[in-house]
Structures are given as structure tokens and as C-alpha cells.
Amino acid sequence: MTTQAAVVDRLEPQPRSAYVHVPFCRHRCGYCNFTLIAGRDDLIGSYLEALALELSWLERSRAVDTLFLGGGTPTHLPPRELDRLLELVLRWFPLAEDAEFSVEANPADIDRERAAVLASYGVTRVSLGAQSFRAEKLRVLERDHDAAQIARAVAECKRFASSVSLDLIFGTPGETLDDWKSDLAQAIALTPQHVSTYGLTIEKGTPFFMRTERGELTKAGEELEAVMYETAIDTLAANGYEHYEVSNFARPGFACRHNQTYWRHQPFFAAGPGAASFLGGTRSVNHRSTTTYLARLRAGESPIAESETLSPEDSARERLVFGLRQLGGVHRGEFLGATGYRIEQLGGRALEEFLALGMLEIAGERLRLTRRGLLISDALWPELLGS
């Protein structure tokens, strides 16, 4: 088979970001549709061996400016295995000077021992899946932590990380606007450098979807969810956070550099179950099943389940949509220079309609979402992707 190294060595410029997926969790929350495996800690050793083999196909270490360990829950690993994971990943993806090294974490997992491991390997950014501070909402979301654990985790991570991010979910069953305002206030009180807010989505195949179908769950209505989102925008802005991407807010200088790799349509490495790399215009996705991922690597086979090489037009459309997720929007001249396509050429009637409806606006040389467009941005993307 053609190795990843052979592909990468032909690329110019070289990828400077890497993502590693750690699929283990204590419990699969009812709304979660991510690639993970719960209650199978017996597979952690096998996972580390398989990951080592997959990364060895890089043939040599690849220095990166951003490195992101996501999940699942990387910090679910016991300290000894977490140490092995970080040592392995940094062997193949050594950090360049002033690199950003992010790790996703569950507040209940952050103890002194795990924090010491993260600190010893130079983790600079921790993204905590707080989701809420209210006991009832956390129960509905099937989370295994409480508000006190969030506060302790933030304090522990601030000892070594230059940036701590909190993820929050809004629009959950039974939630009121005042409830959401309380979550925002408690998050801000902990002074994280970064906050991500997400409206609850109920995906097919999840327990929440089945419960919704049976009438056991009813998420917040669209109007209330829109008000909650706008409340987050205004509240966080009033407290010094810049709204730099549809779902993300940061203190000046603390935007997530790794995620900007995706939004700027830049190449990146990826490894682990379900991980998707983007190299040389080709997106390759590893098998989502952890056991299948392990079996393929044990057999010396590629873990890749699907691969797609984007046409120049499809690549340009993706760059446009990813770029519009950023509040700064897309510079028309730079876009033409990078892709060979004019935005107007790709957008066609859909772009004209969105401009007329006030969903998008042109400010100087930039095309960007308006406040109105932010509220329904997910509905715009299929039209611009031509799907």
C-alpha cells in the first residue's frame, strides 16, 4: 500500500497540525454520536500498540505547530497509560517552538496525578467538557461530574496550561433561558480563556434520538434556542470574549489555533479510530469501530475505511464554507488566489439570495455571516457546497 509518508513527503507546504483520537470513555452519554467505546478499558493496551504501528508508517517524526488529542476522553486513561500515550504521540509529532498542544478532558478525570502527566509533556491547552453547572441538566445529559468538579478541574489545569476552555451545551430538555444564563455566569466566573457553546443536537442512532421518538424527551424549541445562542454571544462579548467562530469565543490571543487549521482548509495528520486526515487534497477516514481499527492494524492492514480526493471545485467550496464559519469571513481576493475560483462564481443564486435576505454581507473585500445568518448558518452550508 502507499504509505502516508510517501504522500506527505510530496506535499508543499508540509502539514503542521496533527489530531490523535482516543476512543475511551467511562460512559456513552445519550446525545453522543462520536467515535468512542465505553466500558472496555481492557483494550487500552491494544489501542496504544495499534496507534504506535499506525504512527510508525509516518517513517520519521513530523514537527507540528498544533497537536490535538480528542475523544472519547483522553484523560480517561489511567496515569501510566496516559503517560505512554503522550510519549508516543510526541515521538512522532514533536512540538515546534511556541506550539499549541491541546487535550480534551472530562472534569471528573482531572486529578493531581493526571495533571502532572499533562504538565510534564508540555500540554498548553485543556478543553474541559463541562456542558453545564446545574445538577438537573447534567443528569439529563448523563454526565458524571458536578459543578464543584468543574471548578476544581479548571483550577488544576490553570497550574500548568496557558489556556483552559469550557464546552457548554444549551437547548436541553426542560431548560429555561434563566437556567442558561446561570450556566454562562458560572462559566465566566471561573475565568477560562476560551468558551465553546453548542445547541443540543439529537443524532440518529443515539439513545436520545430513540427517546425523542418515543416522546420521552423534548428539546428546546427553535425560537428559545436562538435566544439562548444570542444570549451567549452578548454575555460573553460583554465579559471580554471575542466571538471568532460560530460556536467559539476566546479572550484576545486565545483562539484555538488547531481548529483554525480546519476552518482555513489547511492539511493535517490524523491517527486513531474514526480520525480523519486531510493531506494533499485527500480526506481519509479511519474505521469508526475501535475493535475493527485494532484488528486491521494487528493484521498489518490500513485502518482507513474511506478516502476521497476533492476536485478543485469541491475543495474551493469546502474552503468557502469552512471560512464562513469564522466571524471574520472570507477575503474574496485571497480566496480567488488560493482556489482559482471567484466566490460569486461558486455561490451563484444561493449567494445572491443569502445576501438579499441579510444572512450574509459584504464588508470591503470580505464576505461574512451577519447576526441573522449566524442563527441559521447550518442551513446555508448545503447550498454553498452544491449538495
Confidence category of residue 213, pLDDT binned at 50, 70, 90:
confident
Contact 44, 85 (CB under 8 A): no
Whether the predicted pLDDT of 297 surpasses 70 = yes
Those residues whose C-beta lies under 8 Å from the C-beta of residue 255, and which sit 6 or more positions away, are: 194, 242, 244, 245, 248
Sign of CA dihedral 287, 289, 294, 300: negative
Section 7-32 average pLDDT: 87
Whole-number Å distance between alpha carbons of 84 and 81: 5
H-assigned helices in 164-256: 177-189, 207-213, 222-238
More confident residue, 27 or 110: 110
Residue 244: per-residue pLDDT:
98
The predicted-structure confidence for 347-377, as pLDDT tens digits, reads as follows 999 999 999 999 999 999 999 999 999 999 9
Residue 1: per-residue pLDDT:
44
Confidence category of residue 14, pLDDT binned at 50, 70, 90:
confident
Those residues whose C-beta lies under 8 Å from the C-beta of residue 61, and which sit 6 or more positions away, are: 91, 92, 93, 94
Whether the predicted pLDDT of 2 surpasses 60 = no
Confidence category of residue 26, pLDDT binned at 50, 70, 90:
confident
The predicted-structure confidence for 236-273, as pLDDT tens digits, reads as follows 999 999 999 999 999 999 999 999 999 999 999 999 99
Contact 235, 181 (CB under 8 A): yes
Q: What is the DSSP code string of 362-386?
A: EETTEEEE-HHHHHTHHHHHHHHHT
What pTM was estimated for this model as a whole? 0.95
Contact 339, 310 (CB under 8 A): no
Whether the predicted pLDDT of 3 surpasses 70 = no
Section 22-41 average pLDDT: 87
Whether the predicted pLDDT of 331 surpasses 50 = yes
Confidence category of residue 171, pLDDT binned at 50, 70, 90:
very high
DSSP state of 326: B
Section 311-329 average pLDDT: 97
Contact 155, 107 (CB under 8 A): no
Closest CA to 272 of 305, 237, 244: 305
Count CB neighbours of 184 within 10 A: 21
Q: Domains in the chain, ordered, with CATH?
A: 4-263 (3.80.30.20), 313-385 (1.10.10)
Whole-number Å distance between alpha carbons of 346 and 148: 50
Q: What is the mean pLDDT of the chain?
A: 94
Closest CA to 273 of 101, 84, 25: 25
Q: Which residue has the cell 493535517?
A: 268
Whether the predicted pLDDT of 11 surpasses 90 = no
Burial of 34 (0-12, 13-18, 19+ CB in 10 A): middle
Residue 35: per-residue pLDDT:
84
